[in-house]
Amino acid sequence: MTTVRGLEGRRVVLTGATGGLGTAIARRLLDEGASVALTDVDGSALEHVAASLGGDTTVLALDVAREDDWQRVVSALQDRWGTVDVLVNNAGIGSTGTVETETRERWDQVLEVDQRGTWLGMQHVGPVIERGGGGSIVNVGSILGATGGLANSFSYAAAKGAVRSMTMNAALHWAQRGVRVNAVVPAFIGTTALLGRYAGTERHAAMLANTPMGRLGRPEEVAAAVAFLAGDDSGYTTGSEVFVDGGWSAR
């Protein structure tokens, strides 16, 4: 079977590249011909991921919550590539605290990474994409930011709910300036980390029981949606959400 290389020549910045979902997204983008800047806070883990993937990758340590880190990364990529065509805001951390049990410390941590990090990525990379002739921003949201979820993960739901609003707002901002902004909204995805943490627990059972399709998603299914929004096949799509949720949003 011939591989469809719909992102041939595209230069992509991917955050959160060392997680199971990030690695699957990177692999799909590389398979479709993109050059991918893999970013995350753990430099050694990034090197390991890059070695496992092969392809045209660039490794850059990045704390998405730090503006000076974004400035450094964008400057380095402009020196290397000249411009950027696609940003995938995938980096995120979670919490299972409820509205009553969440701590202020964890609330701040989650919103710094998931909400502020997404904003800073758009703020610093979006203008580069525009000056380079246009392209795409893909924000990774969550079904927990679009529904009541499992009535916990309160700070994570707040941050991912903000990602939905920021996506629509930024899409309107750039709508006539060549930068499309969309979101992928996954439900529970069966990454190694998630299964290692929750397999066999009541939370795992609740994930399955509340998913109409009765299974966890696969990282590759989310990666396929990201690739679609990154490329020209979604050229008339902006301010939209692609739900990869096993039916959650239809309930």
For residue 130, give the CATH number of its domain.
Answer: 3.40.50.720
Residue 111 near residue 166, CB atoms below 8 Å: no
The closest alpha carbon to 21, from 249, 188, 200, belongs to 188
Residue 71 near residue 45, CB atoms below 8 Å: no
**DSSP H helical ranges for 180-243:** 192-198, 202-209, 219-230
Q: Is 14 exposed, middle or buried (0-12, 13-18, 19+ CB in 10 A)?
A: buried
Tell me what the pLDDT averaged over the chain comes to.
Answer: 95
How far from the centroid of its chain's Cα atoms is residue 143's Cα? 13
The Cα–Cα gap between 174 and 172 comes to 6
Bin 216: left if φ > 0, else alpha if -120 < ψ < 50, else beta. beta
Residue with tokens 């050059």: 35
Whether residue 24 has pLDDT greater than 90: yes
Q: Does residue 4 fall inside a structural domain?
A: no
Residue 40 near residue 18, CB atoms below 8 Å: yes
pLDDT digits (tens, 9 = 90+) for 93-136: 999 999 999 999 999 999 999 999 999 999 999 999 999 999 99
Range 131-155 average pLDDT: 97
Quickly state the pLDDT bin for 4 (edges 50, 70, 90): low
Q: Does residue 5 fall inside a structural domain?
A: no
Bin 4: left if φ > 0, else alpha if -120 < ψ < 50, else beta. beta
Q: Does residue 217 fall inside a structural domain?
A: yes
Q: Does residue 1 fall inside a structural domain?
A: no
The Cα–Cα gap between 217 and 178 comes to 32
Residue 231, phi then psi, degrees to nearest 5: -105, -175
The Cα–Cα gap between 7 and 3 comes to 11
| pTM recorded for the entire structure | 0.96
Range 125-151 average pLDDT: 97
Determine which one of 26, 41, 120, 156 is catalytic: 156
Residue 142 near residue 194, CB atoms below 8 Å: no
236 flagged as catalytic: no
Give the pLDDT confidence score for residue 3 in this predicted structure. Answer: 57
Q: Does residue 16 fall inside a structural domain?
A: yes
The Cα–Cα gap between 180 and 171 comes to 6
Strand-pair category, 11-14 with 179-186:
unpaired
Q: Does residue 210 fall inside a structural domain?
A: yes
| Adjacent-strand bridge partners of 136 | 86, 180
Q: Does residue 6 fall inside a structural domain?
A: no
pLDDT digits (tens, 9 = 90+) for 207-243: 999 999 999 999 999 999 999 999 999 999 999 999 9
Give the pLDDT confidence score for residue 5 in this predicted structure. Answer: 80
Q: What's the DSSP call for residue 59? A: E
Q: How many independent structural domains does the chain possess?
A: 1
CA distances from 30 to 20, 73, 79, 196 (A): 15, 20, 21, 27
Q: What's the DSSP call for residue 3? A: P
Range of the domain at 56: 11-244
193 versus 222: which is more confidently predicted?
Answer: 222
Residue 17 near residue 11, CB atoms below 8 Å: no
The Cα–Cα gap between 211 and 149 comes to 10
Range 30-55 average pLDDT: 96
Q: Does residue 201 fall inside a structural domain?
A: yes
